[in-house]
């Protein structure tokens, strides 16, 4: 059996030589001085909120999501109506006699102080039957309804069943599908039940409602805090928005829309109070998913994908259009940010009492209870093992097991194939408080950094209904969970492994661009696996920085003064400029081809430790010569060299370092 071996006498000579080289330059060029660490842009990026004077933040004014109250009857005064104002480029709701659109479909509001009374709208609720609103963008509207016609005409029997279940079943039960290997543990701990397990035999003759308990038993002594937290959303109704926009459901727009037959009894017979924009089921799905994701960030992206799937099932059911579903996503995100932000503040405004009321902050207690109970249920003793277990199932039992498939589906459902109708170059604005939605998923970043993550991963501007002034429509939470999308300023990441979870180990999978510098500090491990093009350089000072793609470190210098830099990419790592090691350990995981090699496009300066491992299944033979580090010129020497399981000799050439397997 082979054992790790430190090269004894050879290493002593190497260490002495390296020390001399660091003091006086390389043996081949005594004028050489190790390059200094890259300086990047010299500043961090920020993500300021929109001017609060003109754009009232949802997290502050979410309480105004009301109907039947004259104070909150217009888009200027109602947060949910204001959220959907991008839809007003496509559809003009029926206005009152004074020309103002109110939250008035089927509801009136008495005078309140200086706010005049609001009469019930005369909206017929039936497209083309006066009084009605007006289509402003016929192309987008037609595409919106045609999408539903096509989807319902070609849905499979499996999609029909899924659409039925997500319509009739309580949303919390549906969303727990997104927990994958943790689903059974949650449902058992939460005592979660449903009575909807298939299409009811009598579904064609009556409305069939779930008699289950949604997310579970809130009175559970061991799991009640988690269940209650998961179901918390302050002022979360979508009815005020529906009654403001007054946009019909797709099956009222076209008889070609095929509603799932078993859902025919669920169709409302009162069109004037049954608007389609925005989708309530979708909004509730995102509310439940985000609260569960806050507690169980190990399944953050999978839960979001499940919520987006439920939204798409509303289209497949024939009950909602893509624009309805897009609005539901926006609404669900903003409501949960408002809910979590209120708990953070410890208070919220209560419209019934007309006063600010205290709020109990259950965020941390719910997170701890969810982990304590579920970790015990699945037999894991630490957060790392729990995270591994949470992703241990295959696609056979966890349809959300593939990250790339989830991402593709989520991004597709962000826009449903609509083309932009506005300027696509507008900079992203991040809503006030939205950073709290990433608090447990990226816990090692501060609030300002999480805001920048949201900014650099936001969707482009110009898409139908998504350009609200605050920025909720363009938030791309799935991609944000994979870290920064760009370094448009310098980024310093400090991870504390002692805290466990994502503090100890995380991966950024996005393709990172920009001119900023990445500095890694702390004891945790950060893995980069995107096709990165950032140019500001990479500085490793402490902890572990792992390259899982050949372009992990972008196009700038890599400077290592401490910590462990791991190269574990199938195609090696191509450093875009210079690689400089003045301390720490370079760890190469060598395999076939270029696996685990480090190749710099400019000079390489060595001065710290080297550790070589071999990929499982790869066994070099005695006498093999492996080129492990290369550059236009190699200066210095490793201070120590460790080769796991083998004896080896290291040779330093002008532009490459080689490892020869010794007997």
How sure is the predictor about 553, in pLDDT bands with cuts at 50, 70 and 90?
very high
CA distance 195 to 603: 67
151 and 222 assigned to the same domain: yes
Residues 150 and 272 in one domain: yes
Residue 495 lies in a domain: yes
Same domain membership, residue 126 and residue 70: yes
pLDDT in tens, 612-651: 999 999 999 999 999 999 999 999 999 999 999 999 999 9
- Please tell me the predicted confidence (pLDDT) of residue 30: 59
Q: Determine the length of the chain.
A: 663
**Dist. CA 87–CA 82, nearest whole Å:** 10
Nearest to 411 by CA among 308, 341, 484: 308
Residues 430 and 552 in one domain: no
Q: Are residues 36 and 92 in the same domain?
A: no
Residues 263-272 as b/e (b if ≥16 CB within 10 A, e otherwise) read beebeeeebb
**What are the distances in angstroms from CA 223 to CA 229, 248, 376?**
10, 41, 12
Helix (H, G, I), strand (E, B) or coil at 656: strand
pLDDT of residue 13: 39
Residue with the larger pLDDT of the pair 322 and 24: 322
Q: Does some domain include residue 52?
A: no
DSSP 347-413: EEEETTTTEEEE----HHHHHHHHHHHHHHHHT--SHHHHHHHHT---TTT-TT--HHHHHHHHHHH
Instruction: Say whether both 297 and 437 belong to one domain.
Output: yes
Helix, strand or coil, per DSSP, at residue 625: strand
Q: What's the rounded mean pLDDT across residues 474-495?
A: 98
Question: Is residue 480 situated within a structural domain?
Answer: no
Q: How far apart are CA 517 and CA 44, in angstroms?
A: 9
Region 155-166: mean pLDDT is 98
Question: Over the stretch 296-308, which tens digit does the pLDDT of each residue have?
Answer: 999 999 999 999 9
**Co-location of 500 and 641 in the same domain:** yes
Based on the domain organization, do 109 and 214 belong to the same domain? yes
In the chain, % of residues over pLDDT 90: 93
Residue 483 lies in a domain: no
Does the pLDDT of residue 121 top 90, yes or no? yes
Global pTM value: 0.95
375-402, pLDDT tens digit by residue? 999 999 999 999 999 999 999 999 999 9
At residue 323, the pLDDT reads 98
Q: Are 291 and 232 in contact (CB under 8 A)?
A: yes
| Of the residues 432, 456, 480, the one at which a domain ends | 456
Q: What is the CATH number of the domain that holds 75?
A: 1.20.144.10
- Final residue of a structural domain among 438, 456, 474: 456
Q: Is residue 465 part of a domain?
A: no
How many domains does the chain fold into?
Answer: 2
> 629 lies in which domain range?
5-41+489-662
Confirm whether 422 is domain-assigned: yes
How far apart CA 371 and CA 222 sit, in angstroms, is 12
Same domain as 658, residue 585? yes
Query: What is the pLDDT at residue 202?
Result: 86
Average pLDDT, the chain: 95
How many whole angstroms separate alpha carbon 256 and alpha carbon 525?
A: 54
Which residue has better confidence, 572 or 2?
Answer: 572
Task: Specify the DSSP class assigned to residue 37.
Answer: P
Mean pLDDT along residues 80-92? 98
Q: How many C-beta atoms lie closer than 10 Å to residue 515's C-beta? A: 18
Residue 462 resides in a domain: no
- Whether 182 has a pLDDT exceeding 90, the answer reads yes
Same domain, 384 and 526: no
> Is 48 a domain residue?
no
């Amino acid at each position: 059996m082979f054992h790790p071996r430190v090269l004894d006498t050879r290493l002593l000579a190497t260490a002495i030589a390296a020390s001399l080289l660091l003091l006086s330059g390389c043996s081949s060029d005594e004028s050489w001085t190790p390059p200094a660490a890259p300086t990047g842009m010299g500043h961090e990026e920020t993500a300021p909120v929109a001017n609060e004077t003109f754009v009232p933040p949802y997290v502050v004014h979410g309480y105004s999501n009301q109907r039947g109250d004259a104070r909150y009857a217009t888009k200027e005064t109602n947060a949910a109506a204001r959220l959907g104002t991008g839809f007003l480029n496509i559809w003009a709701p029926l206005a009152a006699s004074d020309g103002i659109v109110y939250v008035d479909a089927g509801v009136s509001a008495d005078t309140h102080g200086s706010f005049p009374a609001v009469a019930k709208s005369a909206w017929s609720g039936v497209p083309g039957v006066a009084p009605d609103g007006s289509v402003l963008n016929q192309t987008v509207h037609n595409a919106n309804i045609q999408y539903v016609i096509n989807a319902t005409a070609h849905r499979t029997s499996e999609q029909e069943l899924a659409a039925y279940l997500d319509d009739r079943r309580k949303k919390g039960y549906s969303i727990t599908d997104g927990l994958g290997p943790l689903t059974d543990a949650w449902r058992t701990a939460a005592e979660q039940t449903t009575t909807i397990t298939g299409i009811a035999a009598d579904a064609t003759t009556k409305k069939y409602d779930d008699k289950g308990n949604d997310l579970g038993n809130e009175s559970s002594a061991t799991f009640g805090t988690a269940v209650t937290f998961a179901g918390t959303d302050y002022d979360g109704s979508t009815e005020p928005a529906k009654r403001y926009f007054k946009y019909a459901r797709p099956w009222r727009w076209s008889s070609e829309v095929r509603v799932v037959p078993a859902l025919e009894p669920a169709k409302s017979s009162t069109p004037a109070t049954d608007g389609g924009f925005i989708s309530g089921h979708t909004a509730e799905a995102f509310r439940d998913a985000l609260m569960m994701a806050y507690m169980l960030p190990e399944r953050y992206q999978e839960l979001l994908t499940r919520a987006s799937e439920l939204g798409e099932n509303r289209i497949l059911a024939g009950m909602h259009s893509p624009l309805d579903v897009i609005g539901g996503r926006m609404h669900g995100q903003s409501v949960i940010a408002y809910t979590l932000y209120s708990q953070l503040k410890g208070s919220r405004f209560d419209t019934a009492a007309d006063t600010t009321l205290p709020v109990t902050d259950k965020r941390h207690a719910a997170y701890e209870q969810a982990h304590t109970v579920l970790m015990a249920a699945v037999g894991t003793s630490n957060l790392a093992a729990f995270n591994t277990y949470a992703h241990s199932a295959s696609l056979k039992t966890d349809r959300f097991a593939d990250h790339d498939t989830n991402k593709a589906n989520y991004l597709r459902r962000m826009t449903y194939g609509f083309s932009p109708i506005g300027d696509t170059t507008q900079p992203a604005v991040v809503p006030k408080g939205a950073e709290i939605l990433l608090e447990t998923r990226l816990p090692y970043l501060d609030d300002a950094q999480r805001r920048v993550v949201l900014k650099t991963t936001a969707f482009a501007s110009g898409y139908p209904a998504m350009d609200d002034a605050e920025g909720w429509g363009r938030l791309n939470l799935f991609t944000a969970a994979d870290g920064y999308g760009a370094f448009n300023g310098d980024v310093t990441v400090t991870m504390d492994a002692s805290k466990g979870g994502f503090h100890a180990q995380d991966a950024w999978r996005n393709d990172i661009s920009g001119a900023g510098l990445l500095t890694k500090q702390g004891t945790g491990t950060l893995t980069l696996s995107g096709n990165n093009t950032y140019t500001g350089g990479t500085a490793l000072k402490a902890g572990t920085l792992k390259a899982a793609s050949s372009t992990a470190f972008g196009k700038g210098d890599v400077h290592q003064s401490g910590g462990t830099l791991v190269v574990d990419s199938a195609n090696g790592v191509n450093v875009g400029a210079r690689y400089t090691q003045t301390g720490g350990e370079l760890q190469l995981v060598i395999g076939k081809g270029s696996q685990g090699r480090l190749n710099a496009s400019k000079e390489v300066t060595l001065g710290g430790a080297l550790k070589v491992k071999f990929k499982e299944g790869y066994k070099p033979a005695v006498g093999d010569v492996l080129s492990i580090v290369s550059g236009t010129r190699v200066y210095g020497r490793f201070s120590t060299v460790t080769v796991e399981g083998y004896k080896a000799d290291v040779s330093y050439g002008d532009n490459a370092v080689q490892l020869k397997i010794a007997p």
